[in-house]
Amino acid sequence: MEVLHKFRALLVENTDKLAYTIGEENGKTISDAKGEISRAIESVDFALGAPHLLKGEHSVNVGGEINSYSMHKPLGVVTCIAPFNFPVMVPVAMSTMAVAVGNAMILKPSEKVPFSAHILSELWAEAGLPAGVWNVVNGDKEAVDALLTNEDVMAVSFVGSTKVAEAIYEKGTKHHKRVQAFGGGKNNMIIMPDADIDTAVNSFLGAAYGAASQRCMAISSAIPVGEKTAEAFVSKLKEKVEELKIGKFDDQDADFGPLISAEAKAGVVKAIDEAIEEGAVLTVDGRNPRVENEDGFYLAPTLLDHVTPSMKIYKEEVFGPARIVVRVNTLEEAIDLVNAHEYGNGVTIFTDSGKAARTFTDGIEVGMVGVNVPIPIPVGYHNFGGWKRSRFGEGQMFGPDTVRFFTKTKTVSERWLDTEYNESKTDFTFPSS
């Protein structure tokens, strides 16, 4: 635990350096990068509780002077395949508990953001972690395939798109790995008629457009209930969206930065164009932004209204600042709409009604649920993960599931015989208490 304590202190001490590196290679603003690092530190805080979490169960005298107890053992070599959008938070969240419970970790960072991972390696070494316990392998699909097929790798944890998550799950399990693969999402915010519209609008702005919408938990769709709610929400949201500023990562006035690549930008523009062709109403157009003295893959925030569930932009995850409004008449219609989607990552509702909130939380079929919170991502000591095609494989990230995923359980049934003990006969019946 001494190494973990030192690693945590070094993360705090090097926050500015890490944030600047994240900004340089990912494009997110410095303030957003610092928020990511704060979440990473939260994961270390949870991992510091590993000695308590590793305690097994113990039952005394379960039968015939027999005691039963369990213990959690490390798997051995495990790997984390991390995405570009969280170069520090995801590697730290996945790897810290893996190391704390006794495994050796191989991190394969996204080839788009390799430098943050190397800083983390330096911090682990400075903290005193023995050489070979935390390792970094750079590369693309070839490196991933090597890890998935290597017989020494016992478990694989992945975060990325649903298409890749499913492929990694299938290949990893084929080669007898324990796999958890977190995919994409189409996260919704339901706005009830009794909600405070200003609060809902401000919450949607940050949750939907922060980090240029390159978050697996970014809010993709606003679902206002009732036409009056929709008109009030869209009217105020349009004004706020038009005021958002894009810029370089170290521009303190910028709300968010560029997209990660030219391909990413082209994909978002294509999604906007197709939505307009299908009948969506372009309320705010961000396809041709003006950014002074800056080259980069910039897109200004775009807002599309009157989107229907049959449109491609509603069905598919759009990893960029093109957000949509889907209008419904009732809460039940909103819940059915969310439940029918193939993704089940996150959803939130804004309401002042306890009854509506309870109906929503009980009836929604999504892994991470919020009530009057912008992004329903849990804190580091609760489990994180979606349902349906947003997650493949075993367990969830963060929380107690992390311990279960990176360990295997051994159960011992134990009896100490007295010197005078003598079994008078052989028993062929199945043992019971």
Task: List, by residue number, the catalytic residues.
Answer: 216
Could you give the dihedral angle defined by the CA atoms of residues 47, 52, 55 and 57, in that order, rounded to the nearest 10 degrees?
Answer: -120
3-state helix, strand, coil in the chain (%, to 5): 40, 20, 40
Which amino acid would we find at residue 399? Answer: G
Torsion-angle region of 413 (φ positive above 0: left; ψ -120 to 50: alpha; else: beta): beta
In a 3-state reduction of DSSP, which class is residue 12?
Answer: helix
C-alpha–C-alpha distance, residues 72 and 58, integer Å: 13
Residues in Cβ contact with 299 at an 8 Å cutoff, skipping those fewer than 6 apart:
212, 246, 258, 259, 265, 268, 269, 286, 287, 289, 320, 321, 322
Task: Name the token pair of 427.
Answer: 């028993």
Burial class (CB in 10 A: 0-12, 13-18, 19+), 8: buried
Q: Please, what is the angle between helix 331-340 and helix 354-363, to 10°?
A: 20
Bridge-based pairing state of the strands 387-388 and 153-159: unpaired
Partnered with residue 284 across adjacent β-strands are 303
C-alpha–C-alpha distance, residues 424 and 433, integer Å: 19
Are 86 and 113 in contact, with CB atoms under 8 Å apart?
no
Are 124 and 98 in contact, with CB atoms under 8 Å apart?
no
